[in-house]
Chain A
Amino acid sequence: MHDTILDIEDFGFTYHGAAESSLTGISAQVRCGEFVCLTGDSGCGKSTLLLGIMGLLRGGRGVGTIRVTPSDVDDRAPAAGIVFQTAESQILCSTVAEEVAFGPENLCVPADEIALRVREGLASVGLTGEERRSVERFSAGQKQRLAVASVLAMRPGLLLLDEPTSQLDVQGKEELVAVFTELKRRGHTIVMAEHDPRPFEALVDRYLKLERGRLVGSDRVPPDPVRYRPKAFLLPYSSTLYGTRPVLDVQGLDLSYPETGEVLKKAQLRVSRGERVHLFGCNGAGKSSLLRCLAGLIRPDAGRIWVAGKESPGPGDLRGQVGVLFQNPARQLFAETVREEVAFALQRLAYPVEEVDRVVAEALSFCGIAHLADRAPLTLSFGEQHRVALAAVVAPRPTLLLLDEPFAGLDFPQRLSLLALLARMPIRYGTTVLIVSHDELPDRRWADRSLRLQGGEIAETAP
């Protein structure tokens, strides 16, 4: 049971065109039945190492060796299987059964055995009876479990997981922990890349800590949590500072979808100028739908919305007044330099040229990316692109800033840094900030008001 299944020897990798190596001198071994967690901040090389183990690194230059012992029981089984971070682009078929069957089909498993593997794979992740359902109707947690089932159906000797909980709410995380507990009990060997391994502490046998592409530690105890020092600028909201006029007023909002039914039921929300509000809700609770209603992307079935003094505005009516940052902000970047990206909205709002330069410089400095001003936005890291997108929406000093899952894909220090930036928005620009997320805030003190969206209704939560 203690045979080595994974042996990495002095492995290094440099991506094509990159100045520095993403991984250098990695040596490690994983034994059968072990649950190993790769930890480290974003960009430290966790995902690259997993891709290297899978043999999926394209281009670039690799050194050293990675050996994965293939299964000696099933000659068709792959040595390793991987569950990627984003279930959305990993799911290739339209129904649950087809998705789980996809791997065994490629391995030329006999047709009638595939059906058995589908049933067993789904049973392993608690999705029995869902075979014929459309994957599009699944919640994020269900999609992630489906992705695990689709890899398990291939019976890999080694299961690799890349940030499996990054898109999941508390319940989704608990479900996934239960799945992995059962898999570990059955003797599966698992290597998981995760920057926040806290939900899996009871399962993990060993932590391998990566820092800037190097393995800096192998330990049985989890790494220390990031300490956070209280910030003096976390001043509470005061109506005397900003007045009592609401920036956002939602009354009796109804919204429904097919199959899922009513998402919002007579939802009420009133946010005053300068407030910092956190709206929390589970996956599928309707948070993003609410935000899309506020941004004028979806027309609700009933109810009224006032945003920045405009009733039921469309996206074109909110230029410069409302800034929106959806998940994966990189998709709104297009300019050749960061400076041009940030200047775009100001130019469209007809700011004088000298004013544009001044405001852009201020926004870049505010977001801590002044040193990136002449870089191409699309060549930056995820965290840097996040800041560029934020600088682009805060530059016109919007009255209201709406952020949908702004912490997705960021590690803990990056999350804290973003939160600190957002904390300064009301004081600096008088901007109201509404964060919508499925997770708790990295620091709960940030919010003047915390709300919960549940059962289609918005309710205040205790501080």
Chain B
Amino acid sequence: MQKRLPKFRSSLRSCDYACQFATNDSPVHRLGAGWKLLFGMVLSALAAGGRNPVTLSVLVAAALAYYLAARLTLADLWRDVRLFAYQAALVIPLYCLIDGVEKGLWPGVRISTQIVLFYLPGAVFLRTTRTSEAMAGLRRIIPYRLSFLVFVSVRFVPVFFSELEDIVALQRMRGARLSPREQLDPRNWPDLFNCLVLPLMVRALKTADEVSRSAEARGFGLYPQRTYLDTSRLAPGAPEGGARETEGQQRPLSAGNF
């Protein structure tokens, strides 16, 4: 009676969205944010310059090794690159159509692979770097208010993807023409704006208001500089903080002080 869907479907739900931070520990997680950025930029630059099959094969192997060293799974990889698979499915036939299969196949494959290779180190960075680590790196370059803005935006990307999915489903049930096939017809584009973009914008503005209010309520922007949590102090055996740096100024700390 029951129709079982192929088993691999459940394994694909290994994370909620592409590039989601993975809380596990790995050598890549322990690497500093700056090093990861540098390593990623080198890999991406090599990917952009790679032209022949051998170079690209080596780069694919290197990128995969980097990805797997972060203890990310193949299911995670699929989550991260699946949009590019659709792109490849479009790019390769287009090249074949323009230049013929013999001449167009390799450039199509090369361009598609280069795009994935260019992007993959960025995905590893997002999956293995905490907001605070990334902010710590960014704040050396840009003011902390701006770096916070960047990372709070990243934090809310999945929330808006989830909102988007819900709104699309709700509006389609009400008759809005929002399916990809329906959107191929320009006459249905007003539905995209009215039924999806408009509610999403209203939601985004409301969330932005709530977020800024929450940040303001917690003292964000009160001082021109701010301090940062030292995560190494969070380990159970870590020494109690405050004594050396604040000696003579701080009261003894206890739960009752809250």
Which A residues are within 8 Å of any B CB, using their own CB?
A: 51, 54, 56, 73-74, 78, 81-82, 84, 86, 88-90, 92-95, 97-98, 101-121, 123-124, 131-134, 136, 150-152, 154-155, 183, 186-188, 251-252, 254, 256-258, 295-297, 299-304, 315-316, 318-320, 322-324, 326, 330-335, 344-345, 347-349, 378, 392-393
Contact = CB atoms under 8 A, between A and B. Distances in A.
Interface stretch (B55-63, B81-89, B246-254): B246-254
A74 B251 CA distance: 8
Interface string B221-233: 1110111111101
A349 B175 contact: yes
B217 A56 contact: yes
Given A92-B152, A94-B21, A95-B23, A112 B230 contact: yes
B235 to A, nearest CB: 9
Given A81-B218, A316-B172, A334-B198, A116 B226 contact: no
6 contacts: A73-B257, A110-B227, A113-B250, A252-B1, A301-B9, A331-B163
Nearest to A334: B198
A386 B211 CA distance: 23
B99 interface: no
Interface in B202-258: 202-203, 207, 210-211, 213-223, 225-231, 233-234, 238, 240-242, 244-246, 250-251, 253-258
Interface stretch (B11-19, B100-108, B112-120): B11-19
B187 interface: no
Interface of B: 1-5, 9-10, 13-16, 20-21, 23, 130-132, 152, 155, 158-159, 163, 165-176, 179, 194-195, 198-199, 202-203, 207, 210-211, 213-223, 225-231, 233-234, 238, 240-242, 244-246, 250-251, 253-258
Given A299-B9, A301-B9, A344-B176, 8 more contacts: A88-B159, A106-B218, A110-B245, A111-B228, A120-B253, A152-B258, A319-B175, A334-B195
A112 B241 contact: yes
Contact of B222 (A107, A151, A393): A107
Contacts of A349: 175
A332 B199 contact: yes
A152 B257 CA distance: 10
Contacts of A86: 210
Given A97-B229, A108-B225, A111-B230, A319 B174 contact: yes
Nearest to A133: B23
Nearest to A258: B14
A194 B4 CA distance: 47
B258 A186 contact: yes
A282 B213 CA distance: 29
B165 A95 contact: no
Contacts of A331: 163, 166-167, 170, 199, 202-203
Contact of B242 (A78, A112, A296): A112
B226 A108 contact: yes
B175 A120 contact: no
Given A98-B132, A132-B23, A334 B199 contact: yes
B123 to A, nearest CB: 16
Nearest to A392: B174
A295 B169 contact: yes
Contact of A94 (B155, B213, B222): B155
B10 A301 contact: yes
Contacts of B9: 299, 301
Given A90-B214, A94-B131, A98-B229, A304 B255 contact: no
B232 to A, nearest CB: 8
Central interface residue in B15, B174, B220, by most chain A CB within 10 Å: B174
A303 B2 contact: yes
Contacts of A111: 227-230, 233, 241, 245
Given A97-B229, A109-B227, A332 B241 contact: no
A320 B172 CA distance: 10
A98 to B, nearest CB: 5
A243 to B, nearest CB: 23
A105 B221 CA distance: 11
B246 A110 contact: yes
Contacts of A78: 219
B216 A56 contact: yes
